[in-house]
Amino acid sequence: MELAKRRGFIWPSFEIYGGVGGFYDFGPLGTILKNKIIQKWREFYVIGEGFFEIDSPSVMPEEVLKASGHVDHFVDAMVECKKCGTAFRTADLAREQTGKDIEGMSKEEMEQFIGKNRVRCPDCGGELGKIFDFNAMFRTTIGPGSKRVAYLRPETAQGIFIDFKRLQRYARGKLPFGVVQIGKGYRNEISPRQGVIRLREFTMAEAEVFFDPEDPHHPKFSNCADEKIRLWRAEDEVEGREKLTEVTAEQAVKKKFVCNELMAYYLVLTKKFLCELGIPENAIRFREQTPGQRAHYSSETWDAEVDTARFGWVEVTGLAYRTDYDLSRHAEFSKEDLTIFRADKKRKVLCHVIEPSYGIDRPLYCMLEHAYTTDGKRKYLRLKKELAPIEVGVFPHLNRDGMPEKALEVHRSLKSKGFMSEYDDAGSIGRRYARADEIGIPYCVTIDHQTLKDGTATIRDRDTAAQVRVALAELPSILRSLICGEVQLGEVGEPVKK
């Protein structure tokens, strides 16, 4: 986190005003990385799956969220210190002071737990009062006066459900079909204390997959049937066993570990997506939520979790079987018919929904943590090369004899060819390599005396610090092949002895 702040990945928001918990800014490098994650997600869901993307408001009138159940159920169990009056999220206090997860307990069970385990106010040591519900949506009003209540959306999904009629017309009756939305979600946390992991405003990418409940098949399931996934099943968690079950997608369906083929398919797709971000497969597991932990709309939820050094296992994606809950509630509250007629089956269908819901901020944090490598004296950020915010650094070996001019020429030419290139002539060459390593630049090109004589330059690899010498004319095509992983450094030029 120190490096992430210093180098412009992530900054606490409103810092000059003392900061506000649960809000973070993405600096210049963090924003490029975030945009690359979103781009990668679109490759999976919009291009790969052929889903439609929509973009709807983050301010939503109360009717919508009343129908969706969020006004009544999107609540946090909260507790106040009897002495100093500070308010806390009960489950967070319990986790911090006892290491136990009491998420999903009833208010009475939580009170008992707190009494038995002597959980106290972390600020003043005071005794805690009664537990009560706090609606975690940010509340506002639309227009003058305070009559039209609205909330900041807790998920992008509702914008999709209420557009269902128009969307299914756009899909021209095809089932299953999917719709995605990428944008901000909000959760007015009580007292967030987990840095970038528990945010009040976050970016999410959600997909709602609409299907006929009598036909929960994915047309490409056979492509992933043999892929393995590691499951922590709810029946084991309930019994206190942290036992992982590794099965193929096909077995998961056959053994009824997961509700249907679509769920298994999207578990595999989630694993593949996280691996594409550079998260090692053995740091990924799927935890099934216990009935008490599940959101009100879900009959089965799997959380993709990533193991981190700082926060332990972190949920990065939630895959929920939302059944027909949302469409039936909106049909009821809006009085619109949200069924569709299947001409081929000669019957009406109220679609069911499988929802893969991705956070973007948390995977970004996990990527940074997993990429951070120390190797002797060297520290570097081993990001996937194609995802690195800056792809190439261009340096003059010395600040004289025309080297800076040549280096700037090379830098500008790479930029014009679409590379994220950075020019740096500040400090010694060693310091510049070290800085480039810290922000994960996969390749640095150095212009030296020999460049001016024979038109060659060195390329240095971030992960091995090895260098080769290549002709400048071939630089763009060599860098392109290196960054997308088609070739290794040793294959593209003469090794340079140090």
Which residues make Cβ contacts (< 8 Å) with residue 65, sequence separation at least 6?
Answer: 71, 74, 137, 151, 153, 154, 158
Q: Which of residues 200 and 352 has its CB atom nearest to its own copies in the complex?
A: 200
Pairing of strands 467-471, 456-461: antiparallel
Among 47, 239, 282, 430, binds its own copies (CB under 8 A): 47
What tokens appear for 4 in the block? 């992430």
Rounded to a whole number of angstroms, the minimum distance from the CB of residue 62 to its own copies is 10
Q: Which of residues 235 and 405 has its CB atom nearest to its own copies in the complex?
A: 405
Residue 487 binds to its own copies (criterion: CB under 8 A): no
**327, burial (CB in 10 Å: exposed 0-12, middle 13-18, buried 19+):** buried
Under a CB-based contact definition with an 8 Å cutoff, are residues 410 and 423 in contact?
no
Choose one: 22-30, 216-224, 265-273, 399-407; the region binding its own copies (CB under 8 A).
22-30
Residue 245 binds to its own copies (criterion: CB under 8 A): no
Under a CB-based contact definition with an 8 Å cutoff, are residues 250 and 294 in contact?
no
Under a CB-based contact definition with an 8 Å cutoff, are residues 362 and 316 in contact?
yes
What tokens appear for 102 in the block? 């009491």
> Scanning residues 74 to 93, which ones bind its own copies (CB under 8 A)?
78, 87
- Helices 361-371 + 28-42 axis angle, to 10: 110
Angle at 153 between CA 284 and CA 30, to 5 degrees: 50
Q: Which of residues 396 and 493 has its CB atom nearest to its own copies in the complex?
A: 396
Q: Which of residues 8 and 126 has its CB atom nearest to its own copies in the complex?
A: 8
Rounded to a whole number of angstroms, the minimum distance from the CB of residue 154 to its own copies is 13
Q: Which of residues 140 and 450 has its CB atom nearest to its own copies in the complex?
A: 140
Choose one: 162-170, 263-271, 289-297, 445-453; the region binding its own copies (CB under 8 A).
162-170
Under a CB-based contact definition with an 8 Å cutoff, are residues 242 and 261 in contact?
no
Choose one: 97-105, 155-163, 224-232, 341-349; the region binding its own copies (CB under 8 A).
155-163
Residue 153 binds to its own copies (criterion: CB under 8 A): no
In Å, the largest CA–CA distance within the chain is 80
Q: What is the DSSP letter of 290?
A: P
Under a CB-based contact definition with an 8 Å cutoff, are residues 387 and 415 in contact?
no
Among 1, 3, 142, 295, binds its own copies (CB under 8 A): 142
* Contact string (CB under 8 A) for its own copies, positions 279-318, x = contact: ----------------------------------------
Rounded to a whole number of angstroms, the minimum distance from the CB of residue 300 to its own copies is 27
**214, burial (CB in 10 Å: exposed 0-12, middle 13-18, buried 19+):** exposed
Using omega within 30 degrees of 0 as the cis cutoff, is the peptide bond preceding 216 cis? no
- Other beta carbons less than 10 A from residue 474's beta carbon: 12
> Scanning residues 409 to 438, which ones bind its own copies (CB under 8 A)?
415, 426
Residue with tokens 């009491």: 102
Among 20, 124, 452, 484, binds its own copies (CB under 8 A): 20
Choose one: 28-36, 232-240, 264-272, 277-285; the region binding its own copies (CB under 8 A).
28-36
Query: For residues 288 and 244, what is the distance between their CA atoms, to the nearest angstrom?
Result: 11
Among 95, 165, 193, 342, binds its own copies (CB under 8 A): 165
Among 271, 285, 322, 330, binds its own copies (CB under 8 A): 330
* 3-state SS class at 423: strand
Rounded to a whole number of angstroms, the minimum distance from the CB of residue 141 to its own copies is 7
Residue with tokens 């008992």: 112
Binding site for its own copies (CB under 8 A): 8, 11, 13-17, 20, 22-28, 30-32, 34-35, 47, 52-61, 63-64, 78, 87, 134, 138-145, 148, 152, 159, 162-163, 165-167, 170, 172, 179, 184, 186, 188-191, 200-201, 330, 333-334, 336, 415, 426
